[in-house]
Amino acid sequence: MKQSLRNIWTIGKREFKSYFESPIAYVFIVVFLVLLGSLTFFVSDYFREGEGKANLQAFFVWHPWMYLFLVPAVSMRLWSEERNSRTIELLLTFPVTLTEAIIAKFLAAWVFLTLTLALTFPMVLTNNYLGTPDNGAVIGGYIGSFLIAGTYLSIGTMASACTRNQVIAFVISVMICMLTFMLGLPSVARFLHGIDAGLLGSLAQMLPSLSVSPPFEAMQRGVVDFRDVLFFLSGIIFMLFTTHHVLQARKGR
């Protein structure tokens, strides 16, 4: 156990540092912060909408959309680069298990995303200066955002394990992430619930409950339900489990 943790730490540390050894980290952080700021202030009409309320819903609502493109951009290289440059052979012949390597690389990327998310703290400060926001809801929003980032990341990890081509990995993960997000949007959910065609219909009606958006919605209001957290975590574990299977079968090719 102790050795596993140390292996995860060593691999994760290398991975995390590698973001900063290339321009990826800086581009990602700048794009994320600038876009998020602009969307919140200009598109959401934060100044008028938030009049007197100074709430951060106008801010959090953009997170899943930002992650939709930016998380796959971070995750696409996780395994496909390792396979493409054949360093995977080096990595997996060190005294480590595949599970440790998968967890380590996933956590490194998640910590990086969390760091970026944490850099949005001036929003919270501004809000508290301008008014008296419900800080419980703010914390809930951050927890939700953190969990959505992790879920998208686990999807991206799986996609990255499937192919040696980073562009393909990117496109696959954007598609799946978009699906998991959109299925829960009220309009889409209403459409799916409207399908009334026997077995197919009942399957379609189940789909919205697989979406990440309703639980995120609740968390933005400050309702952090244990079951919702479990939903995100089980999604992540399922995706990493799938990654393990995919890599076990494809790592040598």
Binding site for another protein (CB under 8 A): 3, 7, 10-11, 14, 17-18, 21-22, 85-87, 89-90, 92-97, 248, 251-252
Distance of closest approach, residue 194 Cβ to another protein, in angstroms: 45
We find the least distance from the C-beta atom of residue 13 to another protein, in angstroms, to be: 8
Q: Nearest approach, Cβ of 37 to another protein (angstroms)? A: 29
- Closest approach, Cβ 240 to another protein, in A, equals 20
8 A C-beta contact, residue 72 and residue 162: no
Give the DSSP letter string of 127-144.
Answer: HHHHS---HHHHHHHHHH
Task: Residue 146: name the closest of 232, 83, 223 by CA.
Answer: 232
Nearer to another protein, 24 or 179 (CB): 24
| Shortest Å distance, C-beta 162 to another protein | 18
Rounded to 10°, the helix 98-118/2-21 angle is 50
Q: Which is nearer to another protein, 100 or 217 (CB)?
A: 100
- Could you give phi then psi for residue 126, rounded to 5 degrees? -55, -45
Q: What are phi and psi of 95, to 5 degrees?
A: -70, 70
CB neighbourhood size of 178 (10 A): 16
